[in-house]
Structure 1
Amino acid sequence: MPLFSSDSNDSDSSGPSWVSVLRFVGFIVVVLVMVWLAFNVRLPDLDELRARIESFGWWSWLVFVGVYAAVALTPIPVTLMALTGGVLFGVLTGSALSIVGSVLGSLAAYGIARGLGKETVLALLGRRRATLEKRLDSAGFDAVFMLRVMPGMPYWPVNYGAGALGVPFREFAVASLIASVPGQVSLVAVGAFAAEPSVVVGILMVVAWAAVLTLTIWAWRSWKGTASRPLPGSPDASAD
């Protein structure tokens, strides 16, 4: 489907529809913003980021969540935000805030992708297009869960790809929420342990990373139909 596809049923129409024009303009804007962010914006180091967020006092929770959600919209890795959450707020509060921030950013990116349209977003994804089309086209909860829980998989292409490829919103939202928990807790725990090493935090960190590995294997097997039980929160699990 060309980027300037017409939504009109009139075969005599010679020009692109206004929807296609708006999507093209949106595509150009998003590409320019992404390129600028990728080459010009870098998050400060951990100590500087911590100092900036702490300077907001009682508002630091909201500021942290807002910054996390904004970062999740871009190609900038969210890892540093999760580590900062652990340093600033400890494992429990830091994990909760990181999960909220990452999910809000994911939902916002999903909504942007739905507005821009499939071909526009897939063009934006570049070299990741083929992988996401293979994994997410006509897919649902299991595919999003697997991609979200896998270590090293960036958030932003999954968010935009799911919106562009028509993954149902409810399945995307639930899968993103559940799958983000072990990954966020594992990263937040690393930050908390670095700030104040303790046996309890160390155990939580090991357990969280073990959960990430276990869920990655489980998600892969469930998606391929070889797991003995469906993923938690998936439609198949609710049917049991």
Structure 2
Amino acid sequence: MTRTPMPETTAASPHRDSTPWGSILRNVLLVLALLAMTWLALNVRLPSLETLQARIADLGPWGPLFFIALYALVAVTPIPVTIMAVAAGMIFGLPIGTILSMAGVVLGCLGGYGIARGLGRETVMRLLGSHAEVVEQRLEGGGFYAVCTLRLMPGIPYWPVNYGSGALGITARDYLVATALSALPGQVSLIAIGAFIADPSLVNGLAVVISWIVVITLTVLAYRRWRAARSSQGDPEDTSHG
């Protein structure tokens, strides 16, 4: 008895579905992120210090939590965090203002770091625009001291460091510790200015002077440690300066 041959099934062509969905998704996310950042930078304006102070006072015991949440949101975006830190000093004073500001800025920085891990390196580097070269040069192959250096370096906002660290593979532990330690002196220096504006006492004046001395000193030390680490890895850019 002869068997009827079964019809052969055609093997699925490896090129049957060659649509690069991953690349398309990353490009869509890039466009959305760029649009969001551009809109925030051009349209969102933080309230004045007086308005912010009045709103927080109206919230009563919820005021500090509102401040932390608002600070964290600002730290995720390109909006400068300076006004938030100064406001903390004016509204809450130096000790409480420092605690609330650090809580907000660390949460916001972690948020940016997490978003960058999801977007990926290529997308984030495009998103950083003019900051991409500096951030990549400092953070590539870096770690704790690289993050500290950029956090303390004048003229570099928080958000490129947040996104660059996530995209360039800085470990979460190094990033978190470096952010908490290196953001503290800069935050205190700004909070002290706000506290001095609200209460121009000798203590607040000394806090301003001392905190800025600490910021400058730590910036130099962190940069030297970063240079030494890069030199030990054979970076020609750093060894040529020795």
Give the Å deviation of 1:199: 0.7
Q: Does the aligned pair in 2 maintain the 1:68–1:81 contact within 8 Å?
A: yes
Q: Tell me the TM-score normalised to structure 2 length.
A: 0.85
RMSD: 1.6
What is the aligned partner in structure 2 of residue 69 from structure 1?
72
Give the number of aligned pairs. 216
What is the identity, as a one-letter code, of the residue corresponding to 1:143?
A: A
Alpha-carbon distance between aligned partners in 1 of 2:20 and 2:125, rounded to the nearest angstrom: 19
Paired residues for 1:138-157 under 5 Å: 138-157=141-160
Task: Rate the CA distance shift 1:22–1:93 in 2: closer, same or farther, 3 A.
Answer: same
Q: Which of 46, 50, 66 is the equivalent residue of 1:47? A: 50
What is the aligned partner in structure 1 of residue 183 from structure 2?
180
> Between the two proteins, what is the percent identity of the paired residues?
52
What is the aligned partner in structure 2 of residue 15 from structure 1?
19
What is the aligned partner in structure 2 of residue 90 from structure 1?
93
What is the aligned partner in structure 2 of residue 107 from structure 1?
110
Q: Does the aligned pair in 2 maintain the 1:150–1:212 contact within 8 Å?
A: no
Alpha-carbon distance between aligned partners in 2 of 1:146 and 1:11, rounded to the nearest angstrom: 48
What is the identity, as a one-letter code, of the residue corresponding to 1:66?
A: A
Which structure 1 segments of 5+ residues have no match? 1-9, 227-240
What is the identity, as a one-letter code, of the residue corresponding to 2:20?
A: P
Larger of the two Rg values belongs to structure:
2
What is the aligned partner in structure 2 of residue 125 from structure 1?
128
Q: Does the aligned pair in 2 maintain the 1:182–1:208 contact within 8 Å?
A: yes
What is the aligned partner in structure 2 of residue 3 from structure 1?
none
What is the aligned partner in structure 2 of residue 191 from structure 1?
194
Task: Rate the CA distance shift 1:11–1:172 in 2: closer, same or farther, 3 A.
Answer: farther
What is the identity, as a one-letter code, of the residue corresponding to 1:15?
A: T
Alpha-carbon distance between aligned partners in 2 of 1:86 and 1:152, rounded to the nearest angstrom: 22
Which structure 2 segments of 5+ residues have no match? 1-12, 230-242
Q: Tell me the TM-score normalised to structure 1 length.
A: 0.86
Please list the CA deviations of residues 142-179 of structure 1 after superposition, one character each: whole Å capped at 9, or x if unmatched: 11001112233200000001111111111011000000
